[in-house]
Structure 1
Amino acid sequence: MKIISILFVLALTLFANFEDGKKVFDTKCISCHKEYIPMNSIKENFFEKQNSLLNLKAPSANMIVFAMFDSSKKIGDENEKEFQELEIESFLKSYLENPDRFNSICDDNILPFYDNKASMKGQLNDEDYKNLTSYFFGYKENIDKKDTLKYSNYSEEQEKEILKKATIENKKIIIYATSESCYFCKKMDREVFKDISIRKMLDENFIFLEIDMDKFSLPFNLQKEYKRLTPSFFFLNSNAKLISQYPGAWIKSDFMNILKENK
């Protein structure tokens, strides 16, 4: 029981550090660095459109995480997590306080598109650098997952935020009803949602929301429409009006046709 308690406290501490790090990113970094941009859009922006599509002046959080952990300039050894964490923390403090383009971890082909980084010396303390490192580590653990919004303590404010986003971006909304115990949900996650063409279609045309039905009810008054079958997919417009619903699992080609019919 004592070991379980220690692990629980450790998990809470790591989560708290991640949340504190996200606050640092949201307050100190978000003015220059977007949190997430789909990788397909990033590739198109830089390698096909010469940055005219997104006009980025700095890398997004997922680009930074890729550079830190997976690029040719990655920092530290992923098999030595504690040392890697210290190295990343040291790099962040060194680079953010004394920016040097020659010491950047960004792709050399993309770096010329960015503005020169201004020093943040005095704006972040040692605890901020530690928490920011925890944020990037936590972000790394989820970077390969679908671009989804997941609910906790669901509120009307979240509904308004989603509808506003759908209106601004001129996108439809997909509500994906799933559960941890759903075999066919996991099959679709593995065989459909990881497909590049499916992800591109979702990124460009929809706001995709995944709801764990073991924990939450459906938003936008959809619970009355739910047939208690996972997976189920609900398509809404930016006014939260239900357009169509598709209970059950789908193979890649059929699901792509569904997306095309509803985009």
Structure 2
Amino acid sequence: MRNIFVLVFAVLLASHLNADYKTGKAIFAKKCASCHGGYISAKILKKNFYKDHNSMLHLTAPTVNMIAYAMKDSPTHIGDSSDPAMQKMEMESYLQDYLYHPNINNSICEPDFIKYYDKKESMKGEVSEKEIANIVDYIYDYRKMRLLAHPKPRKNFSGTLDLPTLIDEAKRQNKILLVEAMSQTCHFCKRMEKDVFSKQRVKEAIKKDFIFEQVDIEHIKLPPLLLKHYQKITPSFFMISPDGKLLNAYPGAWKTNDFLEILKENKALK
């Protein structure tokens, strides 16, 4: 049994050593791209699925960047991300099994999106194991290569949140100022956006008694009043009274009911 495992490991390792990003890209374009479209930004995808229920893009399969994210970087990613060689092999094993024996129950795509996709047909006989190894190499390096080809512009970090203006507005409306220190790269910020801020009762509670300001701390500095209470945790929430006093600071992400309770407690302090 041990010799068989060593032999299988050696074969898989050899296939990865021969795998090539450019070759994988060409194979994907030839055999996969007719169903799996090219890059679409996360912002547009989010709007398409969560707000427009796929009526904007009418996607019948995940895009290439959705596949790359799901397999390599998502919470349900394939393999151990701390060991790239082993992760590639596990991604190859998964992809081969899924392409040859499609099963919706074995999909790693976002469950909320799967209902919009067409049924996957087996590609056994259409794509070889060696081609799958190359496709995995392409998928594995997709994000890195795209960032090299399309670098993000440098941001101006000199700006600081204009807290006095926000406090003036809070005072004018007799509402509490709610400031969220967040980041576009923060997983828990995204989860709160999806699981908490999207809820109608949360939207209504904020709209009624709060002025809500989200601050991307990678691009905008927090003012001294908030900075001295900021524990370098995203998300973090700051409650400021209409007269400019810091009421409370809450580091970390929260579930819907807990966050609603926080809003209720601070509303009573106004």
- How far apart, CA to CA, are the structure 2 residues paired with 1:190 and 1:15? 39
- The alignment covers a number of residue pairs equal to 146
Contact 2:28 2:135 in 1 (8 A): yes
- 3-state secondary structure, aligned to 1:99: coil
Cα separation, partners in 2 of 1:15 and 1:90, compared to 1, 3 Å = closer
- How far apart, CA to CA, are the structure 2 residues paired with 1:191 and 1:146? 20
Larger radius of gyration: 2
Offset of 1:83 from its aligned partner?
0.7
Report what 1:80 is aligned to.
Answer: 83
Percent identity at matched positions?
37
- How far apart, CA to CA, are the structure 1 residues paired with 2:19 and 2:73? 25
Contact 2:70 2:109 in 1 (8 A): yes
Runs of 4+ in 1 over 2 A off after TM superposition: 13-16, 145-149, 188-192
Contact 1:85 1:133 in 2 (8 A): yes
> Which of 121, 134, 137 is the aligned partner of 2:137?
134
Cα separation, partners in 2 of 1:148 and 1:81, compared to 1, 3 Å = closer
Report what 1:161 is aligned to.
Answer: none
2:80 partner letter = D
- How far apart, CA to CA, are the structure 1 residues paired with 2:148 and 2:127? 31
Contact 2:19 2:133 in 1 (8 A): no
Offset of 1:62 from its aligned partner?
0.4
| 1:91 correspondence with 2:56 | no
1:148 partner letter = H
Offset of 1:190 from its aligned partner?
4.4
Offset of 1:142 from its aligned partner?
3.5
> Which of 33, 37, 47 is the aligned partner of 2:50?
47
Offset of 1:147 from its aligned partner?
7.6
Report what 2:224 is aligned to.
Answer: none
Root mean square deviation of aligned Cα? 2.8
Query: Deviation string for 1:120-179 (max 9, x for gaps)?
Result: 000111210110011011203235x38839xxxxxxxxxxxxxxxxxxxxxxxxxxxxxx
Cα separation, partners in 2 of 1:81 and 1:55, compared to 1, 3 Å = same
- How far apart, CA to CA, are the structure 1 residues paired with 2:121 and 2:145? 29
> Which of 71, 93, 104 is the aligned partner of 1:68?
71
Alignment of 1:94-243 (within 5 A): 94-143=97-146, 145=147, 148=150, 188-191=153-156
So what's the TM-score if we normalise by structure 2? 0.49
Cα separation, partners in 2 of 1:97 and 1:16, compared to 1, 3 Å = closer
2:150 partner letter = T
| Greater alpha carbon shift after TM alignment, 53-62 vs 33-42 | 33-42
Offset of 1:79 from its aligned partner?
0.7
